[in-house]
């Protein structure tokens, strides 16, 4: 639920920024259309992008833990041999 709220907030901010920053276009109709489409895309994609980021972060942390365990076991084997 919180992701949807944050997505709506980010989408609203995106729409507002595009409408205020895009004064280059003379006709306001395409500007409104583009702002709404991009804002809706932000609302729709935000939870997926955050989810991918969390999954990637967890995978990297798990890989680091596995690598640390391997290094620990190699150090134990070396100390037992010598």
Domain spans of the chain?
2-81
pLDDT digits 0-9 by tens, 21-73: 766 666 667 778 888 888 888 888 888 888 899 999 999 999 999 999 999 99
- Can you give the pLDDT at residue 80? 85
- E-strand stretches of the chain: none
- Can you give the pLDDT at residue 27? 65
CA 35, CA 20: separation in Å to the nearest integer? 10
57 or 16, which is more confident: 57
What contacts 24+ positions apart, CB below 8 Å, involve 40-44?
40/11, 42/7, 42/10, 42/11, 42/14, 43/7, 43/8, 43/10, 43/11, 44/7
């Amino acid at each position: 639920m919180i992701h949807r709220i944050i997505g709506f907030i980010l989408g609203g901010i995106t729409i507002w920024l595009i409408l205020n920053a895009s004064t280059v276009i003379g006709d306001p109709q395409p500007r409104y259309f583009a702002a709404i489409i991009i804002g809706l895309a932000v609302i729709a994609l935000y939870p997926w992008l955050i989810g991918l980021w969390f999954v990637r972060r967890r995978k990297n942390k798990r890989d680091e833990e596995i690598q640390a365990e391997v290094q620990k076991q190699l150090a134990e084997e070396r100390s037992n041999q010598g």
